[in-house]
Structure formats: C-alpha cells, structure tokens
Amino acid sequence: MTRLAVFDLDGTLTWHDTLPQYVCGLLARRPWQLARLLGVLPAAARFAMGPRDHGLFKARFLRVTLGGRRRSELASWTEQFTPRLLARGLRAAGYECLQAHQRAGDVCVLLSASPDLYVPAIGTALGFREVICTGVRWVGEHLDGALSTPNRRGHEKTRCFGQLRERFPGLPTIAYGNAASDLEHLAQADEALLVNASARARRAAARLGIPTGDWS
C-alpha cells in the first residue's frame, strides 16, 4: 500500500545542520567576510538567555550574514552547495531509507525548518515529491533576511504535517525526525522513527511510544 513518508532534513538525512554550512561556505569564498559572523553574537546571546524564538534567531542570523545579497549570487551558490552536500553530507542509511520509499511508490515529502534558499534544490535532487520549508523574504532582487513564512519547526511543523494528511486522505503516514522538536508531529504519524537523537529526546520518545534508532 502506498504511504505518505515525511522526512526531516537536518540531522536526519544529513550529518549536520545545513544552514551554518550554507552560510559559512558562501562567506568563506571571500574569507574577510567571515567577520560577519561576529554580528550574530548579540542575537545568539539574546537567544541563549531566552525566550528561545528559533524563527527570530534564524531571521537575525540570515540578515546579519547574508542580508543584501543578490538573488542571482545566492542561486549560483545553491547550485554549488547542493551537490557538495549530497556527495559528502548525507547519512547513507537515511538515503537508503528514502530510496526504499521511492521504489515502493510512496509519496515522499521533505519537511524542514531550514530556508528555501536551498532546501527545494536539495529536495529536487533527492527526488522528493514535495518540499515544505521556511520561506525567506526578498526586497526586489536582494535578500532581506526576514522570514516570509512561519518557521517550520515544532507546532508549525505539526500543522504542516496535518495539512499533508488532509491532502492525502487515506494514505498511511510514516515520519522521520531527529530532534525533540520533531516529536510532536512524529506522534501524529501512523508510524514514526526518531533517529540520531540526544539522550533527552530519546527518553521523551520512549514516553510517547516512538521508536528510536541511528542512521550512519
């Protein structure tokens, strides 16, 4: 039977968070621009002291590091970044799981909190039927850095997952994630697997009856 298979990206299919890799890789092409990262420190301090608004911090990070960049420059970098990530940054077991779902004819959706600067390109390269991720705002041809959609994390990710279930009625669902923030939507799936998670997230998953594992 065809299923709806929903995959997280960062830490689930990939070894590491993709946004820092994307930003630092671009800045490193002109090493003096790495100094922009120092501008993130005030936002990081406010985030650490709370309340922890991940969407607000993401917007500030993007604005400080990439704000004002032309759309064409970022599109060009995405074309370089995506194959490099797929060549060296994917977890083999996660990719094999995705391919198994694709061979079975399942509807595979990539649901990520990372931005649409590059996530759609990754999703297309991996053969996902659909990609849902966090949108970023542009002013004309220049990146503003603010978010144009809610940050696709936690409750918002659960809302998106619910919409997917409504759009594909009758399909059994299976979801994969790696973080405590993924547990809410994993708990809504018919089947779920928490992979590569922290000890705290694994304990929380156990309380919810969600299996855990590791993808290498």
Q: Where are the domains of the chain?
A: 4-213
Report the helix count and the strand count for the chain, using DSSP H and E. 9, 8
Residue 196 contacts residue 91 (beta carbons within 8 Å): yes
Question: Sign (positive/negative) of CA torsion 42, 44, 49, 52?
Answer: positive
State the Cα–Cα distance between residues 101 and 61, nearest whole angstrom.
35
Domain 4-213 has what CATH class? alpha beta
From first to last of its 216 residues, the chain has per-residue pLDDT tens of 899 999 999 999 999 999 999 999 999 887 666 666 665 666 666 766 667 788 888 999 999 999 999 999 999 999 999 999 999 999 999 999 999 999 999 999 999 999 999 999 999 999 999 999 999 999 999 999 899 999 999 999 999 999 999 999 999 999 999 999 999 999 999 999 999 999 999 999 999 999 999 999
User: Two tokens at 116?
Assistant: 């649409």
pLDDT, position 29: 80
3-state DSSP helix/strand/coil percent for the chain, to nearest 5? 50, 20, 30
How far is residue 207 from each of residues 16, 177, 202, measured CA to CA in Å?
26, 16, 9
pLDDT, position 40: 64
- Stated pTM of the model: 0.93
The DSSP H or E segment spanning 212 is strand 212-213
Alpha helices (H) in 135-198, listed in sequence order: 155-167, 183-186
